[in-house]
Structure 1
Amino acid sequence: MKYDEKLIVFIVTIGVLNNPVYKKRLWLAARNMNISRREWPNVIADAIYNFDGIILLSNGIRWPIPDVDKVLGDPRWFSYYFEEDEKGDPHRDVIMLERLRLIDLFFKIKHPEIARHFSK
């Protein structure tokens, strides 16, 4: 496959991840996937490490792929992340935005038809 034929995916910026609408849509999409908290790190790692395309930062520089297990930490984090409050909104805010960045990247690689709605 030639370089120009590879799929290019851009990493979401921290500014976009701080947008409450974007963050909630990402949360809803992830929460509605039929993936257990223990499987999330595996499906994210599989999507990123086996991606045949190119992952770039917004400035066009290749993104240095992190150790997914180190970024995500204990899978119990997903249980806390998916909790909702009495109004159906996320119960907790995410401090480590790099975790959300990996979830967002998973959707961009595996489910682009869903990911394109996060910023609308």
Structure 2
Amino acid sequence: MQLREQRVVTVASDAQLLNPHYRRRLWIALRNEGISRRKWPDALAETIYDFDGVILNPNGTPWNIPDIDDVMGDPRWMSALLEECNGEPCRDTCKIERLRILDLYFRIKHPNIQRHFGR
């Protein structure tokens, strides 16, 4: 019997998600992903719920996966988030848990992109 090592992913801390440079890089990655606002909830759910690994809080405790539809809400806010004004985001979200889920999508699906968010 062969044991397979589970991948461990840690969600972003509040401090990371409140950093304007981190948020800008997350915003750029979101725009470049090319997913429509209506498809984002499905992409997030498939990536996070189907993840065959362990998701931890920054303090090392297990992260309780929330209901993505409840956290993300109406997809119209996603259009507002992705909107661009002179190369910068026009709007932001004040709901940090939304950003945490979007960031987690990249930590799971595109870790090589996500690792540059904090630089």
Band the TM-score falls in, shorter-chain normalisation: over 0.9
Corresponding position of 1:90: 89
Q: Which residue of 1 aligns with 2:64?
A: 64
Moved over 4 A (4+): none
1:25-75 per-residue CA deviation (whole Å, 9 max, x = no partner) reads 000000111211100000001111000000000111000100000000011
RMSD of the alignment, in Å?
1.2
Within 5 Å, which residues of 2 pair with 1:1-120? Answer: 2=3, 5-85=5-85, 87-120=86-119
TM-score, with length taken from structure 2: 0.95
% identical aligned pairs? 52
Letter in 1 for 2:110: H
Shift of 1:2: 4.6
Structure 1-normalised TM-score?
0.94
* 1:72-113 alpha-carbon deviations (Å, 9 max, x no partner): 00111110001122x311111210011011010000101111
Name the CA distance, whole Å, in 1 between partners of 2:56 and 2:109. 16
Q: Distance in 1 between matches of 2:94 and 2:34?
A: 24
* Unmatched segments (≥5 aa) in structure 2: none
Q: Unaligned 5+ residue runs, structure 1?
A: none
Aligned residues: 118
